[in-house]
Structure 1
């Protein structure tokens, strides 16, 4: 990682607020943004489109090596492109969400994308003066030497309500239950290859269970300003 530019790494379970908080923090700090989880979703979408059997781990690994993927870095406009096609909406569909764990837990795919993520973090930080990178393994494997490392956490109930509002527009009981499998099972699957439930040494824990978005962003920015004051101008 560049010692000249600010690198903030944010990890956490599904529904903890990683993406919304990370984008807002990047906007507030005036730096770039990288959604590493979207990269696993993009590979999943690509495999589905290309007819690659997600249970064929070797074939999926090859797909991860050759996908023509471009990641947007503007926190105000999330974008993911494959072969020049914008697929940000496509990778958030239930079709992808239900099977993305098969790609995310593929031990051949993970090191491929992790190295790509390191390269992107360096490039984005150089181009924009810094980067907020969020996703699984980001604080421990991808960017263990980031200037600031944060683990966002929240209760299962809070995470279910948030994801339910994202997917269904409300958090009525039936919508929350419809979301439960996606949250709980995804975390269980991912925890077989990644540790994101407890903060590693040097990683700051921020519990967002009782915080709204603005409060969550403020809590993370406070950590950044405290840990890397020289790089945020304070």
Structure 2
């Protein structure tokens, strides 16, 4: 890769953006940043320290002093708070139930924006590029990224995927997907592609097809500045 590469991926829950973005980062040998995990880490830390996630002032202050470390190796990304690995803990139902409360806190978002941009820059410096995925990466965090993608899928496909992931009935996933997207959309835009953002609809694509679709978008955007796996050329 001859030039620094930032690939910004937005999208609602259940589109496959996290797993696909991680696979794309592995294929390109660049860093990977799951920005949603950063908000989950803060939510976990609030619960762990007895802070009400709806107390916006306390949560914002807690965020400013949060000792958060993100491991950006796409082969084994990690999340740590104060030196403690919490990769599994941040995926718990308790954290999922409150993460939108901290993610819609505007002071928290401002602090996370600074951290996210620093992590993206670190990935570029270390690996020549970063795949960053989340809610408003294409429009706020990395609006000047050379590759910006909105990953979408039908509501039915999204709920079916999340249901399979969590091993629960489809109807049980509705609140986790629809309600959370509704809450998060009050502070970020991730359902409609902004100008210059390419939409990749994964409704009828399997995992490998989704990865290849994203890699083709990258190829079209940066051309000969990147070496793609043979199957994506």
TM-score normalised by the chain length of structure 1: 0.95
Runs of 4+ in 1 over 4 A off after TM superposition: none
1:67 CA drift (Å) = 0.8
Number of aligned residue pairs: 227
1:83 CA drift (Å) = 1.1
How many Å separate the matches in 2 of 1:67 and 1:4?
A: 33
Q: Alpha-carbon deviations, 1:136-194, whole Å to 9, x = none?
A: 110000000001000000000100011111111x6xxxx10011111000000001111
Q: Alpha-carbon deviations, 1:111-144, whole Å to 9, x = none?
A: 1101110111001111011110000110000000
Considering only aligned residues, what root-mean-square deviation do their CA atoms show, in Å?
1.2
Does the CA contact (< 8 Å) of 1:101 and 1:189 recur in 2? yes
Tell me whether 1:128 sits opposite 2:127 in the alignment: yes
State the partner residue of 1:60: 59
Does the CA contact (< 8 Å) of 1:6 and 1:231 recur in 2? no
State the partner residue of 2:231: none
1:4 CA drift (Å) = 4.0
Does the CA contact (< 8 Å) of 1:14 and 1:183 recur in 2? yes
How many Å separate the matches in 2 of 1:179 and 1:60?
A: 27
State the partner residue of 1:9: 8
Q: 1:218 aligns with which of 212, 215, 222?
A: 212
Does the CA contact (< 8 Å) of 1:64 and 1:112 recur in 2? yes
How many Å separate the matches in 2 of 1:139 and 1:63?
A: 27
How many Å separate the matches in 2 of 1:45 and 1:33?
A: 21
Does the CA contact (< 8 Å) of 1:80 and 1:88 recur in 2? yes
The 5 Å alignment of 1:113-152 reads 113-152=112-151
How many Å separate the matches in 2 of 1:14 and 1:98?
A: 14
State the partner residue of 1:23: 22
State the partner residue of 1:200: 194
Change (3 A) 1:230 1:126: farther
State the partner residue of 1:190: 184
How many Å separate the matches in 2 of 1:226 and 1:159?
A: 27
How many Å separate the matches in 1 of 2:3 and 2:49?
A: 41
How many Å separate the matches in 2 of 1:231 and 1:79?
A: 29
How many Å separate the matches in 1 of 2:6 and 2:119?
A: 12
Does the CA contact (< 8 Å) of 1:70 and 1:80 recur in 2? yes
State the partner residue of 1:179: 173
1:231 CA drift (Å) = 3.0
Does the CA contact (< 8 Å) of 2:33 and 2:131 recur in 1? yes
TM-score normalised by the chain length of structure 2: 0.95
State the partner residue of 1:166: 165
Does the CA contact (< 8 Å) of 1:154 and 1:209 recur in 2? yes
